[in-house]
Structure 1
């Protein structure tokens, strides 16, 4: 559910194969490949893989709305997040629909609703906003992430309609 599966698959296939004169990778495809790498790393049981898809200087902004009466914003440096991530043992899957992708030179923005499960149980949904940075080798990494967190019963409100079958 990470945007258009055909484009995402094509971007990954092209990124993994040698580029020839008859293969053209759009900037959007390259950004999607970077975002997919980050999302796939969340599901990887090797907790060190996530670090390969983020800048070490990245910052994560968590707009926690799990208790609507007491929302909070947590600001977590990537190094601290990766340290905490390494201690986790559950099986995680984050599914995201790439609603908007904006690109200007070496920066891009990937925006859209997501759902998050731990050991197959939906824990929360929200909106992801990933600031992507193009690296010298042409790949894209996450520079910063901001995301909202809402309780599972609010997934439809944030556009994660695939949870209850309303994928509009």
Structure 2
């Protein structure tokens, strides 16, 4: 019986360690994207995305209606690459990270600072896919607001 308990404990610890390792590797890709933003490195930023990635922002029009803006990875990388280094500083908190085989999700509240000044906040929602042994961002959608940022 004692051997069974030791074996069961070992299995639980192994599963927990593997889950943590997968979560850490997902977080590393997201952090790499934000580091690339902060360093104005559009080329590195592009490596964090899948070839068919979708980028969207949910916002409000002047009359208050919900609207969805679409960007491409190339557009995003070009904008980032043209910014002076250090101007774009998005600070996130990993609230939820879930992994199931080759699929991962990240829910991350953020605050965005431009040239050291608070600009806006919201939520980043990522869907990542493990492609050829590497995590890639397949879908990124975010919200943006100026108030209600804790």
Q: TM-score range by the shorter chain?
A: 0.7 to 0.9
How many residues align? The count is 132
**Structure 2 gap segments, 5+ residues each:** 1-16
Query: 1:56, CA displacement in angstroms?
Result: 2.9
Name 1:154's counterpart in structure 2: 148
Distance 1:61 1:45 in 2: 20
1:33 equivalent in alignment to 2:51: no
Which position in structure 2 is the counterpart of 1:128? 124
In the alignment, is residue 56 of structure 1 matched against residue 51 of structure 2? yes
In structure 2, the CA distance between the partners of 1:89 and 1:72, relative to structure 1 (3 Å rule), is farther
Displacement of 1:84: 3.0
- Superposition pairs of residues 12-161 of structure 1, within 5 angstroms: 26-65=21-60, 69-89=64-84, 91-136=87-132, 138-151=133-146, 153-155=147-149, 161=150
Question: Cα deviations across residues 49-74 of structure 1 (Å, max 9, x unaligned)?
Answer: 21121123211110124868243210
| Structure 1 unaligned blocks of 5 or more | 1-22, 156-160, 162-168
Please provide the CA RMSD for this pair: 2.2
Query: Helix, strand or coil for the counterpart of 1:30?
Result: helix
Q: TM-score, normalised by structure 1?
A: 0.69
Would you say the 8 A contact 1:28–1:101 is kept in 2? Answer: yes
1:15 equivalent in structure 2:
none
Q: TM-score, normalised by structure 2?
A: 0.77
Larger Rg: 2
Per-residue CA shift, 1:1-33, capped at 9, x if unaligned? xxxxxxxxxxxxxxxxxxxxxx97721111111
* TM-aligned CA distance change 1:76 to 1:45, over 3 Å: closer
Quick check: which one's strand share is greater? 2
Matched-pair contact (CA < 8 Å) for 2:41–2:80: no
The DSSP-based 3-state class of the residue aligned with 2:42 is coil
